[in-house]
Each structure stands twice: as structure tokens, then as C-alpha cells.
Amino acid sequence: MSVLTATGADRAATPAIDLGPAVALSCRECGERFGLAPIFACASCFGPLEIAYDLPSGDPEALRRRIEAGPASIWRYAPLLPVPADVADKPNLNPGWTKLVKADRLAAELGVTGGLYVKDDSGNPTHSFKDRVVANAVEAARAFGFTTLSCSSTGNLAGAVGAAAARAGLRSCVFIPHDLEQGKVVMAAVYGGDVVGIQGTYDDVNRFCSELIGDPAGEGWGFVNVNLRPYYAEGSKTLAYEICEQLGWRLPDQLVVPIASGSQLTKIDKGLKELIATGLVEEKPYKIFGAQAAGCSPVSQAYKAGHDVVRPVRPDTIAKSLAIGNPADGPYVLDIARRTGGAVEDVTDEQIVDAIHLLARTEGVFAETAGGVTVGVTRKLIESGALDPSLTTVVLNTGDGLKTLDAVDSTARPSAIIRPNLDAFREAGLAS
């Protein structure tokens, strides 16, 4: 069986694989269904596959109580994820349930009156949202009997895979662009797995991984964002679940989400729709805005040009965690932004750095460059009138600023260097 696409034989009854409410893989383009397997593309139309569920039905209040009584991690939402019911009892990193920061001081700076929140995912075990998606992929890897966990990564995912594999007792081997930020390289390597630098961009790394999957050398390997992608991607839904639960089981009016492959944004939208379908939240309109760096903005460019096709670009930005020049979910991001009344915008590297400082000095949250992108885009959207400042808005920070220190190294320096006496302190103008 190909681990890339489903074949005719795969369309038989699903084997006895326990992934909770997940019942099949469904093509996002043509709707054809396949059994649960380590595949990600439809054999009929080559469209992407995603998880189809038998979601809980009945009393929404009982489901809310069940969730609220669950662990302070993404596993409180196990009834809505492709994981076994006993997932919380297995050795894993238990990511999620991160802070939703009510950002009143940032709101005042930006002119937001309707309530501004920052979903700060820097509090995850390896300090980025990638822990959420990898945790789901690990359960799929276990179910399919893989012994090596792997990925193509712009940095954060490599660290998340290394840590999750170590905790689960699996071997890890991750592939990254050779010029990645050193801090992310260290974080990926410290867990004892293999870290391989590829000469080229992330898109070159991803192509190599696709070749390795089809080679005997890749036998027994679970690539979290390739052959395990349908399961992996579902972890991003938990951001939507947590945001709504932390808002008192309410949908936000507006969300600003960073775009790398685009998967996070599409799965947040899927998560919101599932919350509505299960009755956990009351249905109302919401808008989703996508955020990119100007140096890697293929989706933003397509949105502004009114195109449905995303033209690949060669990345050139400090926001390396978002530097995917050919985003797989780009067309679906365009659909969601337009369907919900949102937009896709981009900001320059200079604006990213400025936004990192703005969030840090107003809310005490040190974001990595991707967080600078979302805050910077939020400001730009407000200034252009695309984002309504009178509505409840949630901005995502997906990683810790300690991972991208180089971005602010030249702008975050000591205020003064003085002699150790009060006169020197006063001469430096620091006394108030």
C-alpha cells in the first residue's frame, strides 16, 4: 500500500484501529472516503484527506461537563479528536490549556474597544503550538505501528517531534533547512534524536521527505506532517476549542491566525464548526484573518489579487517559522477568509520586530516572530478598517520569543551601563 495515496484496496472496511471518534479519512475535494491509514492524498483526485468523525450527539451540557472535568490539556477534548479514550494515561507531553490573555493595554494601544485577547501558546512543553499537533500524530504513529517519528520543519516542529518521541519511547529523525535559527536547532537536537540539515528552503526539505517516504529507507517512519498529516493537523482544532471554552463557551467575533502551510487556520475553522455542530457553542458569524510576513506572503498576495490559486514564492523573512513558500492549504485559507468576511494581510520584517516589542511592553508576552506577524497584521487591519475594533478579537501567539532572539537582538539592549554608584545612576537619567 502506498503511504501517500489511498488505493482501491484501501476502500474496504476500516481495520480495528482505535482512534476514538475518528471513523474514516475523507477527501476534502471529492468527498470519497477511505479507511484509517497512514495516507494523506485521495487516489481519485489527489485532494487532501482529513478525518471524518462520529462526533458526540445528544446533551451538549453533559458534553461540556465532561470536557470541563477532564485534564488541563488538549486531552480534555479527546471525544472530538482522533485519539483513543485513554490517551491521557499514556506517556505523552500533555500539551495545551494555555493562557488566553485579556490584553487590555495592547487593546488601548491599538484602539480596540470590544475586547482583545492573546492566545499565548508559548506555554506548551516545547514552547510552541506544534506540541498540540505532534501529540495527535504520536497517537496515530502508535496505532499504525511506526517506530520512528519524523518531520520536515521550519524549526518549532522539529523540537516538538524530538520531545514527543523521547517521551513516547520512539526514535526521532527530523529534517530542517540548514540555515535555521541556532536556538531551534539546539532545541531539536537536545532530545537525543537525529537532526538533519538540508541545503535549501523548507520546500526543498519537504520534497526530500516525500521522496524518503516512498523509499525502503523510510519503512516504519511516521512523518507527522506528511503521511500522518490528516491526524497531525487535527491538533490545531484544540486552539479553537480552548479559546471558546475560555471565553465561557462563546465564539469570538474575530481571530487573527498566522499562516505557514495554512493548516492551522483551516483546522481552527473546522474546530469552530464542530463546536457549533455539537451544540457546545451558540452559532453566530465569525471572521478569520490570516497573517503572513511580507517576505513570504503567497496567500496574502493571492487574496489581494482576487486569485483562487496561490503562486509559490521563495521565502526571505525573519519569520522563519512561517517561511513556507508553497503552502499546501493556501487555497483553503483563501476560501475561509472570504467565506467568513475576513482577509489575509502581511507585514514587513521591521513591522514584525516593532510588534514583538509592542506586545512585550504592553502585556509582558515575549512572542517569537510569528507572534510579531499576527500582532503587526492586527494593527494593520485595524488601521485599514478591515478588522472591527468594537468586536471581540483573539490574536494568536504560537511560540516563545526566546526561540527567535536574533530578530530583536539589535533592538533589545541595556538602557545604560553605569558605574556602581548613585551619582552615575542619576547622570544616566534613570532616577524618577
pLDDT digits (tens, 9 = 90+) for 58-71: 899 999 999 999 99
Res 15: pLDDT? 52
pLDDT tens column, 178-216: 988 888 899 899 999 999 999 999 889 989 998 998 899
Q: Does position 14 have pLDDT exceeding 70, yes or no?
A: no
Percent of the chain with pLDDT over 70: 97
List Cα–Cα distances, 422 to 315, 413, 425, in angstroms. Answer: 49, 21, 5
- pLDDT digits over 26-55, tens only? 999 999 999 999 999 999 999 999 999 999
Per-residue pLDDT tens over the stretch 251-306: 999 999 999 999 999 999 999 999 999 999 999 999 999 999 999 999 999 999 99
* pLDDT of 174 above 80: yes
425 vs 432: CA distance, rounded Å: 11
Determine which of 11-25, 169-183, 245-259, 341-355 has the lowest per-residue pLDDT on average.
Answer: 11-25
Query: For residue range 372-426, what is the model confidence (pLDDT) as tens digits?
Result: 999 999 999 999 999 999 999 999 999 999 999 999 999 999 999 999 999 999 9
Q: What is the mean pLDDT of the chain?
A: 94
Of residues 184 and 362, more confidence is placed in: 362
